[in-house]
Amino acid sequence: MQYEHCPKCGRNFFPEPGFYYGAMFISYIGSAFFCLGFVMLLHWVFAWSLLASFVALLIITALLFVWWFRFARAAYFYLVAPYDPAMTKAVDAGDLDVPAPKPTSKN
Ligand SMILES: [Zn+2]
């Protein structure tokens, strides 16, 4: 479940259909460099075998992939979505009613 608007500043979390498609590129670029760096670190700096390095990579990516997926969405949102100070004032003043998350997800 995710808020449709930010409860603090009122920003729309779903500006258009398919908005979070762009988060895929953040996720891909970030995870590719992480995987390269992680295996290089273990293999070259700590002198682990290639097999051990890749097994460690599999374990760490299996543990972190949901967190990374959400992080990429949030990073993309903060990079791309516009911030409106007037909206924040309206939320603080209680003029803008921010609905709670609904059980059905849109994206
Ligand atoms: Zn906000």
Q: 12: which strand partners?
A: 5
Distance of CA 36 to the CA centre of its chain: 20
Q: How far is the CA of 11 from the centre of ligand 1 (A)?
A: 6
Does 104 score more than 70 pLDDT?
no
Residues 68-101: b if buried by 16+ CB within 10 A, e if exposed: beeebbeebbeeeeeeeeebbeebeeeeeeeeee
Q: Are 33 and 23 in contact (CB under 8 A)?
A: no
Q: How far is the CA of 100 from the centre of ligand 1 (A)?
A: 14
What is the share, in percent, of the chain residues with pLDDT greater than 70? 91
Q: How far is the CA of 34 from the centre of ligand 1 (A)?
A: 28
Q: How far is the CA of 6 from the centre of ligand 1 (A)?
A: 5
Q: How far is the CA of 33 from the centre of ligand 1 (A)?
A: 29
Does 99 score more than 80 pLDDT?
no
Q: How far is the CA of 7 from the centre of ligand 1 (A)?
A: 6
Q: How far is the CA of 18 from the centre of ligand 1 (A)?
A: 20
| Backbone angles phi and psi of 13, in degrees to 5 | -80, -10
Domain regions of the chain by residue span: 19-91
Tokens of 9: 């500043």
**Average pLDDT of the residues of the chain:** 88
pLDDT in tens, 45-92: 999 999 999 999 999 999 999 999 999 999 999 898 878 888 888 888
